[in-house]
Structure 1
Amino acid sequence: MKLLIALHIIQLLTSNVHASCGYGTHLHRREEDGEIPPPKFGYDGLEGPLRWAELDIAANTACNTGTRQSPINLITGSITVDSGAAYKLAIADTPEAEFENLGTTIEVPITGTLETAVQSYILKQFHFHSPSEHLVDDVHFDMESHFVFEAEGNKSIAVVSFPVSVGATNDPLLGTVLSKAGNITATGSVTATPPLSFTTLIMHLESNPVFRQVLSLS
């Protein structure tokens, strides 16, 4: 399965919008007191993508006029494809990590690095969308996991996105994290994950083709 990666992502939503994909970066810093503000948008119904511009006309203009506004339908024949070996991902195994409900997604704040040919990035967090935020050739995946990175110098953002399909066996990392999702059903709730190993995920990235696309954050 090909993986999706969006490098040097254009931030089209202003800081007034609850940008869950950019949470923990300079675009949407974490609250010092740990409080999670209520979400100002959603992914379906009256707060879904088709109405993001209407939710805050002054702040969300780009949601209506932008040409790279997430979510989008990625067409394989028109996307740049790189070798996964060109992306050096490093995330240390950890005995546990914080796992929190942001209202729009569930997220694990964690550190790591991503090295590309042109930029070095620091991992800020990873989170989930179900069903997948983006489509590939008109098809949704059951889930999509976003690993969000920020460059220290120019503050550019990179998101490595792993599409996920339901299968007979659990992915070692995702299965471990999501086993605790039932503990954080309310916005603002927090729990701890079991020990996390990123070895399989890193090998998967480095051994597969990678789609590269410039998009907005949502």
Structure 2
Amino acid sequence: MRSIFALSAFTSLVSAFCDHGTTLNPRQNDIGQTLELAFSGIGGPLEWGHLNESYRICATGTSQSPINIRSHNMTTIAGSHLGFDLPNMPEGAEFENLGKTVEVNTTGTLTRDGKAFKLAQFHFHTPGEHQIDSHYYPLEVHFVFQAEDKEIAVVGFLMEPGTEEEGSKLFKNVFQNLAQIPTRGLKTVTAALDFTELRDHLHRSHVFQYTGSLTVPPCSQNLLWHVVQEPLFIDLTSFRAVRKTMGFNARYIQNPPGEVNLLQHACRLLREDDEAEARRLAPAA
């Protein structure tokens, strides 16, 4: 049985955790990757909302990402309806280790409903962050775009290991020089990048659309997500190399858009349990 003192201490802890950061105007212009970020344990996703004033929406927002995409009730479009124009890079592109992900800096344009978004960068997550009908994928790449009005759109491709013949030549070239950037802060250049196969894959596929958030702090909302339904293959050697370099860097699945933030829900349950315990331990009148 918990003592009254222990109960009081626990109540204070719950209050501090659950009441912190209930007001925030989320930043909409931060599309870079955080250099020092934990994805588990102390300092991980359960604490992101408390690490910085500008991260509070991670713990309170009701349109957070990633999500488990339920294919039967998610908006789906043909990939050919998106303009996905990335120029080939015969000399390669800048490739940087950011500590918890690796990022390629190049140019390109996404066109959605007549609106143009400029490519800022693309980066990777192991395992993949989104699920489709509760099925997860070992790797996911996010192409992050921003419009002139600062609205952000992301195109996510899910990937799974395959044979050398099945594997994407584009991503094999992306990771060809990965061994040159084993630790955070190191930069190199990729091998030649030809985005033709990626554009063709997108145009042959269906794409799930929803409005969500960045999957890392500051967890800014109102992002236009496009998750390609059909996965790509990556050769096993490249997959193992990028997994070893990045380690685990996926945020846990969030509630569907418009539903309560899971941390807020957990706090409510803790409060209810705590109040019930307080009533049970209170001396009889």
Fold in common (TM above 0.5): yes
Residue matched to 1:179: 176
Per the normalisation by structure 2, the TM-score is 0.62
CA-atom RMSD, angstroms? 2.1
Q: Is the 8 A contact 1:13 1:60 kept in 2?
A: no
Q: 1:197 aligns with which of 174, 181, 194?
A: 194
The structure with more helix, counted as a fraction of residues: 2
Structure 2 runs not aligned, ≥5 long: 1-23, 217-285
Alignment deviations for residues 183-211 of structure 1 (CA, whole Å, 9 cap, x no partner) = 21211110111111000000011111100
Please state if 1:127 is matched with 2:130.
no
Q: State the structure with more CA Rg.
A: 2
Helix, strand or coil: the match of 2:42?
A: helix
Separation in 2, partners of 1:13, 1:194: 41
Residue matched to 1:167: 162
Structure 1 runs not aligned, ≥5 long: 1-11, 16-21, 30-35
Q: 1:148 aligns with which of 125, 134, 144?
A: 144
Residue matched to 1:8: none
How far off is 1:13 after superposition?
9.2
Identity value in percent: 38
Letter in 1 for 2:77: D
- Structure-2 change in CA distance of 1:132 and 1:202 (3 Å): same
Q: Is the 8 A contact 1:13 1:63 kept in 2?
A: no
Larger relative contact order, structure 1 or 2 (CA cutoff 8 Å, min sep 6):
1
Letter in 2 for 1:207: R
Residue-pair matches, total: 189
Separation in 2, partners of 1:185, 1:86: 38
Separation in 2, partners of 1:162, 1:173: 13
Per the normalisation by structure 1, the TM-score is 0.79
Letter in 2 for 1:131: P
Alignment deviations for residues 139-180 of structure 1 (CA, whole Å, 9 cap, x no partner) = 22110000111112x111000000001111320111111222
Q: Is the 8 A contact 2:31 2:144 kept in 1?
A: no
